């Protein structure tokens, strides 16, 4: 059995897999975003986009929401490998990392699990890239803890 077959079995049959990697830390929201960005950089990622959901929801819907930012993180060498294997994979890029303030000073940082994201794509060439990216994102999340 391949790693993907095992992962699919675990995900759909046993329900063991989550679509994200997460940690909760104490700190100032903006300082945590800076730390996340620094840790991503150490693993070869750049933040291409930042979406401030609190500001967007206030502006568009006039509703109050907690501090919540979506960082679009890209590791160019791995993005290139993925694009070579599957030209439509850009629909799944960049890797999203969210930073949200659950309570005052309690910040949750979560990253998408690219292995789970790629399960719907029928291309075995993506498996090694997804595993490599997941390992890097796990290091980022672990470094924050």
pLDDT tens-digit map of 73-107? 999 999 999 999 999 999 999 999 999 999 999 99
CATH fourth-level superfamily of 19-144: TT1751-like domain (3.30.310.70)
Averaged pLDDT score across all residues of the chain:
91
Sort 57 into a burial class: Cβ within 10 Å, 0-12 / 13-18 / 19+.
middle
pLDDT digits (tens, 9 = 90+) for 128-145: 999 999 999 999 999 998
Question: Domains of the chain: which residue ranges?
Answer: 19-144
Range 96-129 burial, b when 16+ CB lie within 10 A, else e: bbbbbbeeeeebbbbbbbbbbbbbebeeeebbeb
- pTM, 2 dp: 0.87
């Amino acid at each position: 059995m391949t790693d993907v077959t095992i992962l699919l079995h675990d995900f759909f049959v046993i329900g063991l897999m989550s679509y994200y990697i997460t940690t909760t830390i104490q700190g100032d929201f903006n300082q945590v975003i800076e730390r996340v960005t620094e840790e991503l950089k150490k693993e070869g990622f750049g933040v291409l986009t930042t979406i401030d959901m609190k500001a967007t929801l206030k502006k568009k819907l006039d509703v109050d929401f907690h501090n919540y930012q979506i960082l679009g993180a890209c590791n160019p060498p791995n993005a290139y490998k993925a694009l070579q294997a599957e030209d439509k994979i850009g629909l799944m890029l960049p890797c999203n990392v969210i930073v949200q303030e659950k309570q005052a000073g309690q910040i949750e940082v979560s990253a998408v699990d690219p292995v789970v994201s790629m399960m719907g794509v029928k291309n075995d060439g993506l498996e090694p890239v997804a595993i490599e990216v997941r390992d890097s994102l796990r290091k980022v999340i672990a470094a924050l803890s």
